[in-house]
C-alpha cells in the first residue's frame, strides 16, 4: 500500500521580525537582519550582547503561568490553524485526530531562572507557595502542552528535546504518524525563548559572535541566539483537498543520524549530517540532483559551517558550485530547539515565491567552503521544486527534511 502524500496546509511564526509569517517573509526576502542588542534581561556582564529578540510579548494568561515560550507557541499555532482554515479548537464531533509534535530546548527556563534566583536568595531556600505552580508549569514540554491544552488536541503530544535538531526531528515523527494513519492531522513546530542559561552557556563555549552572526563567511566567529516559535499544519493531501484546503507545499522526506563523534563539535567531515540527508532523500524517493536549493543549518560557527559545507560538497559534487545555499540564521539568529520549524517555513516560502532569501552577515563568503551562498539580494529561482533543510545539534544529533513546492 502506498503511503499518502503529506501536505502543509498552514503555518504561523513568531520571530525577531515580529508576529506572523508575513513580517517573517518580508524580512527574509529583503535580506534584513532582526539581530539587535538584547533587552530581555540585563546582558551587561555577558561576553556578548546581541540577539534576535521577538519585539513585544503576547499578553500573559490569567494565572500568569504561561511562559514566554508557551505564549510564542500559542501565537504561532493559532496563526497556523487560521492559515489552514481550521477552527480554533480541534475537538468536537467529527474533529480530526490531531497529533502535536514539538521541538524545544528550554521550555520555561527564563521564568524558572527568576524563581531559582529568588530561591537562592531566600533564607533557608524555602520555596514560596506562589512560585510552586509557576515552577511546576515550566517543564521542557511546557510549550507543547500549552498548545495542546488551548487547542484541545486529543491525539499524541510529544516534545523532542535533542538540542538544535529538535524540531526537525519532530517533522520525521509526524510524517511517519501521518503516513501510517495514526493521526489525521499533525501540528509540528517548536518554541524557545531566551534564557540566561543558554546565553551564558554558549558564551562560555565561545560559540557566540560579538557581531551579528556571519554564516559561511570567511570571518565568521560564532552564532547569534534567536528566539521565537513556528508551527505548521500537516495532513494527507487527499484529506486537505476534501475539506477545500489548498496545499502550501509538501513534506516529502525526513532523515536523521548521529555523529557519535563529540558532545559539541560536529564531525568535521559532516558524516552524520550526510547520512541524515541521504536518509531524507531516500525517504522522499528523489536523488540529490533534484534538490534546487539548501536552507542550511549555517550557524556561523567555524566548525559547523565547515562541516556542513564538507557534507554539501560530498553530496552534490561539482554541482555544489552553483547550488544556492542560504541560512535563515543570518536574519533570525539561532532559534535552538525550534530552529528547524521556522527554517522549514522559510524553505516553503522560498519555494512558493520562487526566491531563495539571502543570508545577512558581514564579509565575503568563505572561499574555502566553495559554496554558492546567496548574499545581498534574494535569488530568483522560479522553477525550484525541492528544498532541503538541515539541522545539526549538540550530542551529534543531525536531522534533515525535504520540502516540495505546491502545484
Partner 1 sequence: MSEVVVTGLGVVGPFGLGREALAQGLAIGEPRTVEVEHGGRNRPVAALLAARLTANLTALLPPGAARRMSPPARFAVAATRLALADAGLASGSDTAECGIVTGTAWGPPWVTEQLLSQILLKGPDAASPALFTESVANASAAQMALAIQARGPTQTITQRESSDLIALAEGARLIRNGRCERVLVGVVDEIVPILHSLLDRLRALARPHADRPERARPFDARRDGFLLAEGASVLVLESLRAARARGATVLCRVHAAVAAFDPSAPAHDWGSGGIALATTLRHGLESREVATSEIDRIISGASGSRRGDRLEAAVLSALWNGRELPPVVAPKGTSGEYGGGFLAAAILALAGSPIAAPAGFEKIDPELGVRPHAGPLPRPKRALVSALSAGGTAAWAVLGEP
Q: Give catalytic residue positions.
A: 164, 297, 334
Give the residue with the Cβ less far from partner 1, 206 or 242.
206
**Cα–Cα distance between 142 and 159 in angstroms, integer?**
9
- Residue from 37, 92, 94, 124 that binds partner 1 (CB under 8 A)? 124
CA 262-328-112 angle, 5° bins: 65
Helical packing angle, 21-30 and 339-353, nearest 10°: 70
| Residue 393 is a binding residue for partner 1 (CB under 8 A) | yes
Give the residue with the Cβ less far from partner 1, 50 or 374.
50
Max Cα distance, the chain (Å): 66
Q: Decide: 1 and 233 in contact? Cβ < 8 Å.
A: no
**Cα–Cα distance between 103 and 173 in angstroms, integer?**
11
| Residue 65 is a binding residue for partner 1 (CB under 8 A) | yes
Give the binding-site size for partner 1 (rule: CB under 8 A): 84
Residue 405 grid coordinates? 513546492
Which listed range, 168-176, 298-306, 346-354, 362-370, lies at the site for partner 1 (CB under 8 A)? 168-176
**Residue ranges in 130-149 that form contacts with partner 1 under rule CB under 8 A:** 132-133, 135-137, 139-142, 144-146, 148-149
| Residue 184 is a binding residue for partner 1 (CB under 8 A) | no
Give the residue with the Cβ less far from partner 1, 25 or 202.
202
State the nearest-atom distance from the C-beta of 44 to partner 1, in Å: 10
3-state secondary structure 265-278: CCCCCCHHHHHHHH
Give the residue with the Cβ less far from partner 1, 64 or 407.
64
Which listed range, 23-31, 126-134, 221-229, 384-392, lies at the site for partner 1 (CB under 8 A)? 126-134
Give the residue with the Cβ less far from partner 1, 135 or 401.
135
- Residue from 117, 246, 321, 364 that binds partner 1 (CB under 8 A)? 117
Give the residue with the Cβ less far from partner 1, 53 or 259.
259
**Cα–Cα distance between 389 and 60 in angstroms, integer?**
33
Which listed range, 15-23, 299-307, 372-380, 394-402, lies at the site for partner 1 (CB under 8 A)? 394-402
State the burial class of residue 367 (Cβ atoms within 10 Å of its Cβ: 0-12, 13-18, 19+): exposed
| Residue 396 is a binding residue for partner 1 (CB under 8 A) | yes
Kind of pairing, strands 157-160 and 324-326? unpaired
**Cα–Cα distance between 277 and 283 in angstroms, integer?**
10
- Residue from 5, 176, 237, 385 that binds partner 1 (CB under 8 A)? 176
Residue 330 grid coordinates? 543570518
Within 13 Å and on the Cβ side, how many CA atoms surround 228?
35
| Residue 321 is a binding residue for partner 1 (CB under 8 A) | no
**Residue ranges in 256-315 that form contacts with partner 1 under rule CB under 8 A:** 256-264, 271-272, 275-276, 279
| Residue 238 is a binding residue for partner 1 (CB under 8 A) | no
- Pattern 190-209, partner 1, x by CB under 8 A: ------xx-xxxxxxx----
State the burial class of residue 325 (Cβ atoms within 10 Å of its Cβ: 0-12, 13-18, 19+): buried
C-alpha distances (whole Å) from 243 to each of 11, 48, 115, 237, 246 are: 17, 49, 46, 10, 9
State the nearest-atom distance from the C-beta of 233 to partner 1, in Å: 17
* Closest to 307 in 3D by CA, of 276, 274, 339, 266: 266
**Residue ranges in 97-116 that form contacts with partner 1 under rule CB under 8 A:** 97, 99-100, 104-105, 113, 116
Give the residue with the Cβ less far from partner 1, 10 or 271.
271
| Residue 255 is a binding residue for partner 1 (CB under 8 A) | yes
Amino acid at each position: 500500500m502506498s503511503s499518502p502524500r503529506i501536505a502543509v496546509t498552514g503555518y504561523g511564526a513568531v520571530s525577531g521580525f515580529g508576529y506572523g509569517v508575513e513580517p517573517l517573509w518580508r524580512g527574509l526576502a529583503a535580506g534584513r537582519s532582526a539581530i539587535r542588542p538584547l533587552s530581555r534581561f540585563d546582558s551587561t556582564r555577558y561576553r556578548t550582547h546581541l540577539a534576535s529578540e521577538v519585539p513585544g510579548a503576547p499578553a500573559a494568561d490569567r494565572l500568569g503561568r504561561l511562559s514566554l515560550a508557551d505564549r510564542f507557541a500559542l501565537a504561532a499555532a493559532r496563526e497556523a490553524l487560521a492559515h489552514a482554515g481550521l477552527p480554533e479548537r480541534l475537538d468536537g464531533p467529527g474533529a480530526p485526530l490531531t497529533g502535536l509534535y514539538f521541538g524545544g530546548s528550554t521550555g520555561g527556563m527564563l521564568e524558572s531562572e527568576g524563581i531559582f534566583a529568588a530561591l537562592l536568595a531566600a533564607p533557608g531556600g524555602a520555596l514560596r507557595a506562589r512560585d510552586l505552580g509557576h515552577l511546576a508549569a515550566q517543564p521542557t514540554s511546557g510549550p507543547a502542552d500549552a498548545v495542546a491544552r488551548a487547542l484541545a488536541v486529543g491525539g499524541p503530544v510529544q516534545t523532542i528535546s535533542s538540542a538544535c535538531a529538535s524540531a526537525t526531528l519532530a517533522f520525521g515523527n509526524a510524517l511517519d504518524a501521518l503516513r501510517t494513519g495514526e493521526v489525521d492531522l499533525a501540528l509540528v513546530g517548536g518554541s524557545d525563548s531566551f534564557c540566561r542559561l543558554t546565553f551564558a552557556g554558549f558564551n562560555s563555549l565561545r560559540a557566540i559572535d560579538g557581531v551579528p552572526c556571519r554564516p559561511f563567511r570567511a570571518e565568521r566567529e560564532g552564532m547569534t541566539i534567536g528566539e521565537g516559535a513556528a508551527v505548521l499544519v500537516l495532513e494527507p493531501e487527499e484529506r486537505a483537498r476534501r475539506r477545500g484546503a489548498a496545499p502550501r507545499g509538501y513534506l516529502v522526506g525526513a532523515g536523521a543520524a548521529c555523529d557519535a563523534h563529540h558532545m559539541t563539535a560536529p564531525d568535521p567531515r559532516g558524516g552524520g549530517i550526510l547520512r541524515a540527508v541521504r536518509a531524507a532523500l531516500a525517504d522522499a524517493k528523489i536523488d540529490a540532483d533534484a534538490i534546487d536549493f539548501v536552507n542550511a543549518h549555517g550557524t556561523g560557527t567555524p566548525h559547523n559551517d565547515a562541516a556542513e559545507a564538507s557534507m554539501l560538497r560530498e553530496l552534490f559534487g561539482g554541482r555544489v558550485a552553483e547550488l544556492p545555499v542560504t541560512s535563515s540564521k543570518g536574519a533570525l539568529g539561532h532559534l535552538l530547539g525550534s530552529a528547524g520549524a521556522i527554517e522549514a517555513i522559510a524553505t516553503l516560502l522560498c519555494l512558493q515565491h520562487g526566491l531563495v532569501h539571502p543570508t545577512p552577515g558581514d564579509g565575503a563568503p568563505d572561499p574555502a567552503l566553495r559554496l554558492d551562498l546567496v548574499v545581498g539580494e534574494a535569488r530568483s529561482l522560479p522553477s525550484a521544486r525541492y528544498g532541503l533543510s538541515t539541522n545539526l545539534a549538540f550530542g551529534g544529533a543531525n536531522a534533515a527534511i525535504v520540502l516540495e513546492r505546491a502545484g
